[in-house]
Amino acid sequence: MRAKRSNRPKVLLAWDIENPAPAALSAVRRLIEGGAKARAVYVGSPSFKAMPEWDRRTLRAAWREKLRKQGIELAFEEGGVIPRLLTFIDEAKPDLVVLGTKSSGWIESLLLGSVAKSVRRRSSAPVLIVPAGKRG
């Protein structure tokens, strides 16, 4: 007997638990309301890995629970952020990847690039980049 394939679109949220992007989370919540199935992934950064183990466990548990309440499963990965995200995208095969951006200026973005731009260029799935909302 073959497994039944869901017709629900699969959305993957690239989530930064150290510097969350509320606008990206809001976009994913709207997609869920429209019938999408969502997952999130966080690739541990050097600053996250430098935290004491208790702090890392506490932060992981808090974000897992917060996203779970919104219908989003959160996975944690290790490795270089861009290569690991791209591998996760290839393995998960989402219909859409959602990434939030930080509120950096255009010069900084031009000189340094960003995870979102790198993933967008190299992803095997379409990528929606959600800019940070205005602070004020």
Query: pLDDT tens, 31-42?
Result: 999 999 999 999
Query: Residue 45: beta bridge partners?
Result: none
Across the chain, mean pLDDT equals 85
Residue 50 has pLDDT above 80, yes or no: yes
DSSP 52-90: -HHHHHHHHHHHHHHHHTTTEEEEEE-S-HHHHHHHHHH
Q: What are phi and psi of 39, to 5 degrees?
A: -130, 160
Token look-up 């989402």 returns: 94
Residue 4 has pLDDT above 80, yes or no: no
More confident residue, 69 or 133: 69
For residue 136, the model assigns a pLDDT of 43
Q: Which of 21-25, 45-49, 66-70 has the lowest mean pLDDT?
A: 45-49
For the whole model, what pTM was predicted? Answer: 0.84
Q: Residue by residue, what is the 3-state secondary structure of 85-116?
A: HHHHHHHHCCCEEEEECCCCCHHHHHHHCCHH
